[in-house]
Structure 1
Amino acid sequence: MSNTKPTRHRGVLAPVLTPFHDDFEPDAEAFVEHCKSLIASDVGLAIFGTNSEANSLSLAEKIELIDTLVAAKIDPARVMSGTGSCSLKEAVALTRHSVDAGIGSVLMLPPFFFKNVSEDGVFAFYSEVIEAVGDMRLAVYLYHIPALSGVSITPALIERLRKRYPATIAGVKDSTGDWENTRMLLTTFSDDGFDVFPASEALLLDALKLGAAGCISGTANVNPVMLSTLYRMAHEPVSAHLHENAVSIRKAFQQVPMIPAMKAAIALRTGRESWKNVRPPLVPYKTVDMRATVALLEAGERTLMALQSHAPG
């Protein structure tokens, strides 16, 4: 068992979109390129999240993509690996591989096929993974997205897990989109040993006032500089204007299926048509015109540049 302390994250992270070739195989080259561009924009990498189409990827594909990032010299301290699975053995295998690759932080869904499972069952799942990996470098961020998983990460469950594994249970991503739930998590677990990440930049400023660690937002894939600047300048007068711009862009993507829309926007901006590819059951935006949405992104970037050019210092 390693004695190295786990990595803790701050700031904005993107649940990294997974590019595919036309045969639906992951495009490792485009994946690394996208990851490097996000890090260059000061956005961390939450690989294998919902927007990554993680549950459409096999265990072997995820392991290969992790190895590709390591080979490309991506700093593992900037990465959070999504390792949740309905299969206990697969969750253990991917978590162990992530930690061995230097990615100690993992974002872990509860097992999500069976519904109305007991708190004891969900606790046992997380406990078995932590015990099986058995590494002090491991930091588990609990992934609360009940609208898709059908399984809630309750305050009582968080308390039980923290009591049993105080050095390992690092925080939670709250993907309810409900400010009252995020506020409750922030006020209930207000000490500095537990990090709360809302899943939307719309909640970022209010959440930071209560001690949030940042946010993990899908639209950080397409609007990274704006969001990283919003986090960095959250306490500056300009933050309200930045927030307004960031939320307007998020709303534009929320009006349509977000994953195909973000991929189509990246395809338009990079000229790489294969970025439009999504794995079934998702379907790509082949006929929808994304130019107006991309123009909104570019207008936001111009606004940001203008604000920065007039900033003191």
Structure 2
Amino acid sequence: MARVNTVLGAIAPEELGFVAVHEHIGYGMPGSELDTQWWKSPEQRYEETVPKLRLFHENGGGTFVDATGICNGRDIPYYQSLSEKTGVHIVACTGFVGGDTALKYFAEASVDYLRRQFVHEITVGIQGSAAKAGIIKVGVSRGFRMKELDLRIYRAAAQASLETGVPIFTHLAVDVEPALTIFAEEQLPLDRVLFGHADDGVSQGKVNQQAILAAGGRLGFDTFGYDLELPDPPFWGRHRDERLEHFLSLVRAGHVDQLLASADANCSPLGWPGVKGHTVNYLFEQLIPSLRDAGVDDATIHRIFVTNPAGFLTIDG
């Protein structure tokens, strides 16, 4: 039976609705929960997060895919409470944002150990809960190059994806050739992989998007809203019009079915201040009006935010 894993249980793909496919309830580097400068009480985190998710739901949002992997602040009971409070489906992930964020315990693990870890979180549950991961996160370490641990994680993720049917999304789409090689060796269909952050400002010139598209992979334009026009833009920011035109060029070239979009916003960042004013609701407040102004029809917008993510997230069988 076709299904998608959410923190409150499996649902049918048609129940997902509008999907923000790469977001964060609260992301932080390992150890950030110990930093007294940035420590937040549960009440503060709720106060910062619930209004954003409620507005997302009011705007028409159905599903929020949390890209916060192992070691980065993932909190399943909290996600379950948020989903119950707001009516938003939340999909949690297994995996790692990048090899350089894995604690030493995991950094020395074999491919088989990592595969079994991912499979357990997908088929049994995460951190002792019954909530099952609905996606696998992998990444590229800092420096824009795959390190040995990244390669182990990618291979374990490919094997776990084949075993469970759960798809993979990547943090960064740079240094893609080793990833493509691993996925080909493991015989993983590339439509099960979303190569993320293809649009961020620091990745431009480093993403071989033609190789990804030609192999059947999906491209994630999932840093919408991190604009250099912000009062205090992040280092990965990009000019708003430049990012939009990049996305539109692929829409016009006929690659709509391989595109997904999101904002990669943090509801309540852990261990860092986040980017003021940037939330998942940028998708409704800025991006979709801009797409319409550029002549993108509602049927195409529906494909990008409803049809494509449903096909991507669905587990068959």
TM-score normalised by L of structure 1 = 0.49
Larger radius of gyration: 1
* Larger RCO (alpha carbons 8 Å, 6+ apart): 2
